[in-house]
Amino acid sequence: MDSEKQLIKVNKEIERKFLLKNDSWREGAEGITCRQGYLSTVKERTIRVRTIDEKGFLTIKGVSVGASRAEYEYEIPGKDAYEILTNLCEKPLIEKKRYKISYKGLIWEIDEFFGDNKGLIMAEVELTDEKQSLELPSWVGEEVTGKPEYFNSNLIKYPYSKW
């Protein structure tokens, strides 16, 4: 047994982010309200708490390498999430409305930010492989994958309103 190596499964998120060039995505889009805060924002790991409507989630993410990083997400009681956001998370919180739009077999998530990040709207799409072929919708603009200023965890320190 000592000579055998144990394999540990790592959940991986492969995500690309983009700015939007127009509002044509809004037609028929319905959004949900999200509030999120961070318990840790160091480069090597971020620990986030999020509420989506009445549900709570705890998410732990590793360092980004290209468009990939380790990610673990767990549902937690909504009341606990609310209390953690209020009492323990760094401020300001991230407030946004998230819209999901299906395009060419992929689900695009569009985040419209409020509060200190009002005016910022980004689209992200999760892929199964970094080399996966991707056809962009007409409303997608500049790619910002890997640009730290667009990481949600950095938007609490350097809000969009202060750029």
- Per-residue model confidence as pLDDT tens digits over 29-59: 899 999 999 999 998 999 999 999 899 999 9
Domains in the chain, ordered, with CATH?
12-162 (2.40.320.10)
Is the pLDDT at 8 greater than 60, yes or no?
Answer: no
Nearest to 121 by CA among 106, 135, 139, 103: 139
Choose between 69 and 81: higher pLDDT.
Answer: 81
- pTM of the entire predicted model: 0.86
Give dist(CA 145, CA 17) in Å, integer: 5
- At 130 the three-state DSSP class reads coil
In this structure, the number of other CB atoms found within 10 A of the CB of residue 138 comes to 9
Is the pLDDT at 7 greater than 80, yes or no?
Answer: no
Tens of pLDDT along 129-146? 888 989 999 999 999 998
Reply yes or no on whether 72 is catalytic.
no
Options 38, 99, 150, 160, the catalytic residue: 38
Is the pLDDT at 1 greater than 50, yes or no?
Answer: no
Is the pLDDT at 3 greater than 50, yes or no?
Answer: no
Tokens of 35: 């509030």
Give dist(CA 35, CA 150) in Å, integer: 17
